[in-house]
Amino acid sequence: MRSETMTLNMGPQHPSTHGVLRVALELDGENVVACKPIIGYLHTGMEKQAEYKTYTQSIPQTDRMDYISPMSNNLSFCLAAEKLLDVTVSERVQAIRVLLTELTRISSHCVWLGTHAIDIGALTVFWYTFREREKVLSIYDMVSGARMTASYFRVGGLAMDIPEGFLARCEKFVDEMPKHVDEYESLLTKNPIWIARTQGVAPLSAADALAWGVTGPSLRGSGVKWDLRKDMPYSGYETYDFEVPTGKNGDAFDRFQVRVAEIRQSTLIAKQAIQRIKALGEKGEYRVRDFKYVLPPKEDVKTSMEALIHHFKIVAHGFFPPVGEAYQAVEAPKGELGFYFVSDGSSRPWRMKVRSPSFVNLQALPVMVEGKLVADVIAAIGSIDIVLGEIDR
């Protein structure tokens, strides 16, 4: 009998690859001998484009990277630019940013859970998780006017103040959320089919995870307690009270449990942020009063000559950071998302580099699936939680 391996192309047009990912698999029967992810189908040259835009003009681009967590991308971009400018935003702005990025984490994990469950054959969960995701999208809509591409954060603050009734709506959502997470868990956590499809599947040891640069829930699922919100805090995260859930075995089931626990923790952080914003005022200052970097208030522009000049300068040229470079990372729902800026003193970045978590995490896919069954590849891709917009940039 002849025996030879077969090469199979999974994707790029395959629903379980979460976008246009192509995985070249070498199969021996049902066993995966070699696995090679092939990417780039969604490449739009965002890093190149940023060199031709002012800093503010690049913010809408960041929404389109990881398009299911726009606020985290905005935050990382703005924090990196603020680090370059040496600007610190007020406590109120920080709290609003924390609230929205935690809602983003909830929504991103909801999308992940729904689609991951669909991949493995549990269709029902999708309808539950997308119900809650839609609520977060309407909250984005409320603050920014867009459901998905929010572009709400600005360098030095926010695009506008939070609208009336915003906090009440967030509070309602955050109060209801733990009940919904219970629903998801009742559908999955003890479901024997779910356990069979995820437990022991696509394991990643802690040493491998570190060597391959894996971050976020995928790293924590392998038992490494590393969360930038705790270990390298930004936006005042050190003042919030929350836990960092970790797994033990580093398999798909542990990554699932970590993410579900993270949704619960995010609701706790969001609650604390809401209390803080209430204490600091539902209406208030939403940007730093340094009009070399941010637009002055519109009322001032109409009455003050100086404010008018600042307005014109910022709209026409943007702001001018000093010569230098800065890297700032945040804990995005998928892992460490960072922006690296090189400034030559002009109003456009000389170089913008995006450290996207999905790009790095996907690289560990062959480690997870080689020598395993082909059906587990789908579970593995789902469990890493990738977004191709962010991988290809």
Partner 1 sequence: MPLAPERVEQKVRERFPNVAIERLTGAAVRDLTLIVPAEHLVEICTFLRDDDELAFAMLSWMGGADYMPRVPRFETIYSLLSVKHAARFTLKVMVSEEQPKVPTVTGVWPTANWHERETYDFYGITFTGHPDLTRILLPEDWVGWPLRKDSPLGYEEVAFTHNTPGRTVPSPSLKKLAPKKVRYRAQ
When binding is defined by CB under 8 A, the residue of 27, 118, 195, 232 that contacts partner 1 is 232
Of 188 and 365, the one with the shorter C-beta distance to partner 1 is 365
* 152 three-class SS: coil
Q: How far apart are CA 155 and CA 80, in angstroms?
A: 9
Minimum CB distance to partner 1, residue 304 (Å): 29
Residue whose entry in the numeric block shows the structure tokens 């733990």: 178
Of 169 and 351, the one with the shorter C-beta distance to partner 1 is 351
Q: Are strands 153-154 and 22-28 parallel, antiparallel or unpaired?
A: unpaired
- Rounded (5°) CA angle 320-325-327: 115
Minimum CB distance to partner 1, residue 48 (Å): 6
Of 333 and 357, the one with the shorter C-beta distance to partner 1 is 357
Decide: is 52 part of the binding site for partner 1 (CB under 8 A).
yes
Name the burial class of residue 195, with classes exposed (0-12), middle (13-18) and buried (19+) by CB atoms within 10 angstroms of its CB: middle
Q: How far apart are CA 262 and CA 33, in angstroms?
A: 34
Of 126 and 350, the one with the shorter C-beta distance to partner 1 is 350
Of 227 and 262, the one with the shorter C-beta distance to partner 1 is 227
When binding is defined by CB under 8 A, the residue of 27, 118, 187, 342 that contacts partner 1 is 342
Residues between 311 and 330 with contacts to partner 1, criterion CB under 8 A: 321-327, 329
Q: What does the block give as tokens for 298?
A: 């519109």
Of 345 and 371, the one with the shorter C-beta distance to partner 1 is 345
Question: Looking at 92-100, 131-139, 153-161, 334-342, which segment touches partner 1 (CB under 8 A)?
Answer: 334-342
Residues with Cβ within 8 Å of 207's Cβ and at least 6 positions away in sequence, in order, are none
Closest Cα partner for 158 from 331, 22, 283? Answer: 283
- What DSSP designation does 212 have? T
Count of residues near partner 1 by CB under 8 A = 41
Binding string, residues 29-48; x marks residues near partner 1 by CB under 8 A: ----------xx--x-x-xx
Of 251 and 336, the one with the shorter C-beta distance to partner 1 is 336
Closest Cα partner for 83 from 315, 334, 339, 390? Answer: 339
Binding string, residues 129-168; x marks residues near partner 1 by CB under 8 A: ----------------------------------------
Q: How far apart are CA 173 and CA 342, in angstroms?
A: 40
Of 184 and 341, the one with the shorter C-beta distance to partner 1 is 341
Among left, alpha and beta (phi > 0; psi -120 to 50; other), residue 100 is alpha
Give the largest CA-CA distance in the chain: 89
Decide: is 62 part of the binding site for partner 1 (CB under 8 A).
no
Q: How far apart are CA 301 and CA 294, in angstroms?
A: 13
Query: Which residues sit at the interface with partner 1, rule CB under 8 A?
Result: 39-40, 43, 45, 47-49, 52, 83-84, 86, 210-213, 224, 226, 231-232, 321-327, 329, 336, 338, 340, 342-343, 350-351, 353, 355, 359-360, 363, 392-393
